[in-house]
Structure 1
Amino acid sequence: MSDQQADRPTSPPEAGASTRRRRRPLAALRAWPRWARLSTYVAGGLVLVLLAATVTVGVLVRRPLPQTSGSAELTGLEGDVEVVRDEHGVPQLYGDSLEDLVRAQGYVHAQERFFEMDVRRHATAGRLAEMFGEDALESDEAVRTMGWRRVAERELAVIAPRTRQLLEAYAAGVNGYLHERSASELAVEYTVLNASGLGYRPEDWTPVDSLAWLKAMAWDLRGNMGDEVDRALTAAAVGEERAEELWPAYPFDRHEPIVGRGAVVDGVFQADATTGGTRLPQRPAWRADARAGQRAALRRVRDALDAVPSWLGRGDGIGSNSWVVDGEHSATGEPLLANDPHLGASVPGVWMQMGLHCRTVSEACPLQVAGFTFSGVPGVVIGHNADIAWGFTNLGPDVTDLYLERVVGDGYRYDGEVRPLRTRTETIEVRDADPVTLTVRSTRHGPLLSDVDDDLAAIGEDAATGAAAGQEYGVALAWTALEPTTTADAIIAMNTATDWESFREAASSFAVPAQNLVYADRAGHIGYQAPGVVPVRKSGNDGRWPAEGWRPEDDWTEESVPFDGLPNVLDPEEGFVVTANQAVIGPDYPYALTEDWDRGYRAQRIRDLLEEEGELTVEEMLDVQLDDLNPMAGTLVPYLLDIDLRPGYASDGQELLADWDGSQPADSAPAAYYNVVWRNLLERTFHDELPEELWPDGGQRWFAVVGRLVGAPADPWWDDVTTEDVVERRDDVLRQALLDARDEITRLQSLHPEDWSWGGLHTLELRSATLGESGIGPVEALVNRGDWEVGGGSSVVDATSWDAAEGYGVTAVPSMRMVVSLADLDDSRWINLTGVSGHPASGHYTDQTDLWATGETIAWPFSTEAVDEAGEDVLRLVPGRTE
Structure 2
Amino acid sequence: MTNLLVKSTKILLIVLIMMVIAIYWYLSQSLPKLDGKVVGQIDQEVIVTRDQQGIAQISGTNRQDVSFALGYVHGQERFFQMDLLRRNSAGELAELFGELAFNHDKKVRVHQFRKRVTEFVTLLTDEQQSILQYYTAGVNQGLNELGAKPFEYALLRAEPKPWLPEDSLLVLYSMYMDLQYEYGDRELLLGAMSDLLSKDAFQFLTPEGSNWDAAVDGTQLPKGEIPKDKVFADIAYQPTNRQGNRFDLFPDNQEGLKGSNNWAVSGKVSKTGSAIVADDMHLGIGVPNIWYRTSLRYASDNTPLLIDGVSLPGTPAIVVGSNHNIAWGFTNSYGDWNDLIKLVLSEDGAQYLTPQGYKAFSVEQETVAIKGQESRSVDIQLTQWGPVIGEDHQGNLIAMRWVAHDAQGINFNLLGLEYAQNVEQAIDVAHSAGIPAQNLMVGDKDGNIAWTIAGAIPRKFGLDSTGSQGWAVPQDWSAGDIGWTGYLTSDEYPVVLNPEKNRLWTGNSRVVGNEMYQTLGNGGYALGARSQQIRDGLNAIEQFSEQDLLDIQNDDRAVFLTPWHNYLSNQVFTDSFVKQHDYTELVEFLDNWQARAAIDSVGYLFVRQFRLNLRDELFAPLTAMMQSVSKENTLALSFRPIRSQVEVPMWQLLTEQPQHLLPDGYSSWTEFSQAVATSTYQQLVAQYGSIDKATWGAHNITKIQHPLSKAIPALGWLLDMPQQPVRGDTFMPRVQGVAFGSSQRMVVSPGHEKQAIFHMPSSQSGHPLSPFYGKGHDDWVKGVASPLLPGASIYTLEFLPQ
Give the alignment's TM-score, normalised by structure 2. 0.86
Deviation at 1:236, TM superposition (A): 5.6
Q: 1:657 aligns with which of 586, 590, 602?
A: 590
State how far apart, in whole Å, the 1-side matches of 2:519 and 2:749 are.
36
Specify the alignment match of 1:559 in structure 2.
486
Are residues 1:712 and 2:656 paired? yes
Alignment check: 8 A CA contact 2:272 2:545 kept:
yes
Q: 1:680 aligns with which of 613, 629, 637?
A: 613
Specify the alignment match of 1:113 in structure 2.
78
Alignment check: 8 A CA contact 2:744 2:758 kept:
yes
State how far apart, in whole Å, the 2-side matches of 1:637 and 1:553 are.
49
Are residues 1:826 and 2:770 paired? no
Cα deviation, 1:552-604, whole Å, max 9, x if unaligned, reads: 333x2313333212221222211111111221211344734223322311111
Cα deviation, 1:303-330, whole Å, max 9, x if unaligned, reads: xxxxxxx9xx997532110011112322
Specify the alignment match of 1:76 in structure 2.
41
Deviation at 1:367, TM superposition (A): 3.5
Are residues 1:740 and 2:672 paired? no
State how far apart, in whole Å, the 2-side matches of 1:177 and 1:589 are.
46
Deviation at 1:166, TM superposition (A): 0.5
State how far apart, in whole Å, the 2-side matches of 1:756 and 1:135 are.
36
SS across alignment from 1:492: helix
Specify the alignment match of 1:573 in structure 2.
500
Alignment check: 8 A CA contact 1:686 1:696 kept:
no
How many residues align? The count is 732
| Residues 873 and 258 of structure 1, relative CA distance in 2, 3 Å threshold | same
State how far apart, in whole Å, the 2-side matches of 1:605 and 1:334 are.
24
Deviation at 1:632, TM superposition (A): 2.8
| Residues 661 and 362 of structure 1, relative CA distance in 2, 3 Å threshold | same
Specify the alignment match of 1:56 in structure 2.
22
**Equivalent residues in 2 for 1:341-740, closer than 5 Å:** 341-358=281-298, 361-363=299-301, 367-407=305-345, 408-415=348-355, 417-450=357-390, 456=391, 463=394, 473-485=396-408, 487-540=410-463, 542-554=470-482, 556-589=483-516, 591-595=518-522, 596-642=524-570, 643=572, 644=574, 645-647=577-579, 649-691=582-624, 694=638, 700-714=644-658, 716-720=660-664, 726-740=665-679
State how far apart, in whole Å, the 1-side matches of 2:134 and 2:307 are.
18
| Deviates further, 739-748 or 656-665 | 656-665
Alignment check: 8 A CA contact 2:278 2:747 kept:
yes
**Equivalent residues in 2 for 1:729-808, closer than 5 Å:** 729-753=668-692, 755-769=693-707, 771-774=708-711, 776-801=712-737
Identity of aligned residues (%): 26
Alignment check: 8 A CA contact 1:324 1:526 kept:
yes
Letter in 2 for 1:70: G
Structure 2 unaligned spans of 5+:
1-14, 220-233, 235-251, 465-469, 628-636
Q: 1:245 aligns with which of 204, 213, 216?
A: 204
Alignment check: 8 A CA contact 1:338 1:818 kept:
yes
SS across alignment from 2:728: coil
Cα deviation, 1:728-750, whole Å, max 9, x if unaligned, reads: 43211221222222222222224
SS across alignment from 1:520: strand
SS across alignment from 1:372: strand
Alignment check: 8 A CA contact 1:445 1:549 kept:
no
Are residues 1:191 and 2:154 paired? yes
Alignment check: 8 A CA contact 2:340 2:399 kept:
yes
Alignment check: 8 A CA contact 2:212 2:529 kept:
no
Alignment check: 8 A CA contact 1:815 1:832 kept:
yes
Alignment check: 8 A CA contact 2:445 2:749 kept:
no
Deviation at 1:132, TM superposition (A): 1.8
Alignment check: 8 A CA contact 2:703 2:739 kept:
no
Q: 1:848 aligns with which of 773, 776, 796?
A: 776
State how far apart, in whole Å, the 2-side matches of 1:728 and 1:818 are.
52
Deviation at 1:353, TM superposition (A): 0.7
State how far apart, in whole Å, the 2-side matches of 1:772 and 1:243 are.
43
Give the alignment's TM-score, normalised by structure 1. 0.78
Letter in 2 for 1:547: Q
| Residues 588 and 362 of structure 1, relative CA distance in 2, 3 Å threshold | closer
Q: 1:232 aligns with which of 184, 187, 191?
A: 191
State how far apart, in whole Å, the 1-side matches of 2:686 and 2:196 are.
33
| Residues 438 and 362 of structure 1, relative CA distance in 2, 3 Å threshold | closer
Alignment check: 8 A CA contact 1:709 1:715 kept:
no
Deviation at 1:223, TM superposition (A): 5.8
State how far apart, in whole Å, the 1-side matches of 2:368 and 2:352 are.
27
**Equivalent residues in 2 for 1:82-97, closer than 5 Å:** 82-97=47-62
| Residues 552 and 581 of structure 1, relative CA distance in 2, 3 Å threshold | same
Letter in 1 for 2:35: S
Deviation at 1:144, TM superposition (A): 2.0
Alignment check: 8 A CA contact 1:422 1:441 kept:
yes
State how far apart, in whole Å, the 1-side matches of 2:649 and 2:774 are.
38
Cα deviation, 1:815-857, whole Å, max 9, x if unaligned, reads: 1101002352110010112111111332433333222122124
State how far apart, in whole Å, the 1-side matches of 2:27 and 2:203 are.
54
Deviation at 1:503, TM superposition (A): 1.4
Letter in 2 for 1:245: F
Deviation at 1:421, TM superposition (A): 0.9
Q: 1:872 aligns with which of 782, 785, 794?
A: 794
| Deviates further, 400-409 or 75-84 | 400-409
Letter in 1 for 2:694: W
Letter in 2 for 1:121: R
Letter in 1 for 2:696: W
SS across alignment from 1:516: strand
Alignment check: 8 A CA contact 1:629 1:663 kept:
yes
RMSD of aligned C-alpha atoms? 2.7
Alignment check: 8 A CA contact 1:352 1:836 kept:
yes
Alignment check: 8 A CA contact 1:487 1:509 kept:
no
Structure 1 unaligned spans of 5+:
1-48, 262-291, 293-309, 451-455, 465-472, 721-725, 802-809, 862-866
Specify the alignment match of 1:128 in structure 2.
93
